[in-house]
Amino acid sequence: MAHGLFITFEGIDGAGKSSHIEAAAQALREQGHEVVMSREPGGTPLAEALRELFLHRPMDALTEALLVFAARRDHLATVIEPALQRGCTVLCDRFTDATFAYQGAGRGFDLAVLSQLEAWVQQGRQPDMTLWFDVPPAVAAQRRAAARAADRLEAEDLAFFERVRSGYEARRAADPGRVRCIDSGQSLEAVRAAVLALVQPLQPRGGLL
């Protein structure tokens, strides 16, 4: 039985979630956690190669879903599950909530098919806590434009990101105990404080029995 903590960071592109993962990791290390940081799609050599295809090659919604779940399976088997079995706390930049938000709500892909893929690939594995960084899509677009050139998904219009945001809200409504909403439209300091308020009380767990 795996005993480590699994915490995911979610939000539309430009919500600022990636800016706070390192601070969360540092706070957890100070509380005695052994922390493993990763991302999706990605986290393994195979998954990173699939990420490049996913972000830069044109494809339909089913192909997107199959690619991200293939990357997720390798990530789970190679990195996440072994770390949790060692008793580590795993922090991951995106996980399955992103698939339901982007491919499900954003692309309009069949949620039942995504749920079946989720069951096959994850075999019951879900995060212990998800921090959802919520921000209006127009604000996120301004941040992205100031920070970097857009990849294939980031180049989508505001209507797409409104649907993605609604997909995240649906995930939060379905599991409010797991998905914690953080107003990412606040100042960097206020968002950082909200993140730390959620992660600092978490106690490290042991490894295999």
Instruction: Using alpha carbons, select from 76, 26, 72 the residue that is nearest to residue 195.
Output: 26
Instruction: Determine the Cα–Cα distance for residues 17 and 35; give it in Å rounded to an integer.
Output: 17
Instruction: Determine the Cα–Cα distance for residues 205 and 151; give it in Å rounded to an integer.
Output: 38
Tokens 């540092």 appear where?
26
Instruction: Determine the Cα–Cα distance for residues 33 and 87; give it in Å rounded to an integer.
Output: 9
Q: Side-chain half-sphere of 99: how many Cα atoms within 13 Å?
A: 27
Tokens 């539309």 appear where?
12
Known binding-site positions for ATP: 11-18
Instruction: Using alpha carbons, select from 87, 84, 107 the residue that is nearest to residue 167.
Output: 107
Q: Which residues contact 206 (CB under 8 A, 6 or more apart)?
A: 3, 87
H/E element holding 67? helix 61-75
Known binding-site positions: 11-18
Paired tokens of 53: 């295809």
